[in-house]
């Protein structure tokens, strides 16, 4: 990382930078958001957006939607854990429940990317500092979910780039499957009150694709 950038990320500089952004940008939308007589002082997101913690692009910037449109959930690799069992995650379940049952969100978007840090660690044997993946307290169990996506394409003869693409897309399918284990999500899907969307975004190659459930594959846009 550039030394000047590192310097700017020190505590005081980072706080001052955030304050400048807040004053110049956020305040422009405060009156419309907080004094809207139809919404009162509440949030009113339209879609739930799930992505990896290291996916750096704001979905509002990506889609051109106004701030507050997305209720954002991020974690390692951007996966949805099942509602029950050893692989369940309380924070994921709580965020899903709040978004779907409290906010009454109508859309869940799963964003995947071939640049996911955890996925690249598992596919690249030359990556440094990967011992926590094996002997860590939390990562080994979490990896079980991601590894299942890798296993689905393990037998295919693929280039490294193609393997990353397919593995990241398989993660979306696994998250779809896990979403079905939440009864209140399943009910809303059957009732037509909730829609699931799978998005794939390769920032470096400027590629965007969406999941088509009819063909069980991703379609490039």
Mean pLDDT, the chain, rounded, equals 82
pLDDT digits (tens, 9 = 90+) for 60-98: 888 888 888 999 999 999 999 999 877 788 899 999 999
Q: How far apart are CA 207 and CA 163, in angstroms?
A: 16
Q: What are phi and psi of 172, to 5 degrees?
A: -60, -45
Closest of 171, 190, 168 to residue 180, by C-alpha: 190
Q: Where are the domains of the chain?
A: 1-40, 43-220
Q: How confident is the model at residue 2 (pLDDT cuts 50, 70, 90)?
A: very low
* Sign of the alpha-carbon torsion through 179, 192, 43, 66: positive
Closest of 61, 35, 36 to residue 49, by C-alpha: 61
Instruction: Name 113's Cβ contacts closer than 8 Å, sequence gap at least 6.
Output: 51, 52, 55, 168, 200, 201, 202, 203
Q: How far apart are CA 201 and CA 109, in angstroms?
A: 12
Q: Torsion over CA of 107, 168, 206 and 60, rounded to 10 degrees?
A: 30
pLDDT at 26 over 80: no
pLDDT for res 15? 54
Whether residue 69 contacts residue 47, with contact meaning beta carbons closer than 8 Å, is answered with yes
Q: What are phi and psi of 200, to 5 degrees?
A: -125, 130
DSSP labels for 94-153?
HHHHIIIIIS---EEEEEE-TT-HHHHHHH-TT-SS-THHHH-SSHHHHHHHHHHHHHHT
Question: What are the percentages of helix, strand and coil residues in the chain, rounded to 5?
Answer: 45, 15, 35
Q: How far apart are CA 82 and CA 179, in angstroms?
A: 7
CATH code: domain 43-220 is 3.40.1050.10
Instruction: Name 166's Cβ contacts closer than 8 Å, sequence gap at least 6.
Output: 153, 156, 158
pLDDT digits (tens, 9 = 90+) for 31-50: 545 544 444 446 789 999 99
């Amino acid at each position: 990382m550039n030394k000047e950038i590192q310097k700017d990320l020190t505590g005081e500089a980072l706080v001052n930078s955030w304050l400048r952004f807040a004053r110049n940008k956020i305040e422009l939308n405060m009156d419309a958001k907080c004094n809207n007589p139809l919404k009162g002082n509440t949030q009113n997101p339209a879609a739930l957006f799930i992505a990896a913690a290291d996916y750096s692009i704001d979905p509002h910037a990506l889609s051109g939607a106004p701030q507050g449109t997305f209720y954002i959930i991020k974690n390692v690799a951007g996966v949805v854990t099942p509602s029950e069992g050893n692989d369940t995650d309380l924070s994921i379940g709580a965020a899903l429940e709040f978004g779907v049952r409290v906010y009454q969100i109508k859309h869940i978007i799963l964003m995947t990317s071939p640049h996911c840090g955890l996925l690249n660690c598992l596919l690249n044997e030359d990556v440094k500092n990967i011992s926590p993946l094996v002997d860590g307290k939390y990562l080994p169990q979490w990896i079980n979910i991601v590894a299942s996506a890798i296993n689905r394409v393990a037998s295919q003869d693929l280039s490294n780039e193609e393997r990353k693409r397919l593995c990241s897309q398989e993660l979306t399918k696994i998250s779809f499957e896990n979403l079905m284990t939440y009864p209140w999500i399943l009910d809303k899907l059957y009732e037509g009150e909730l829609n699931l969307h799978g998005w794939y975004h390769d920032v470096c190659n400027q590629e965007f694709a969406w999941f088509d459930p009819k063909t069980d594959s991703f379609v490039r846009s």
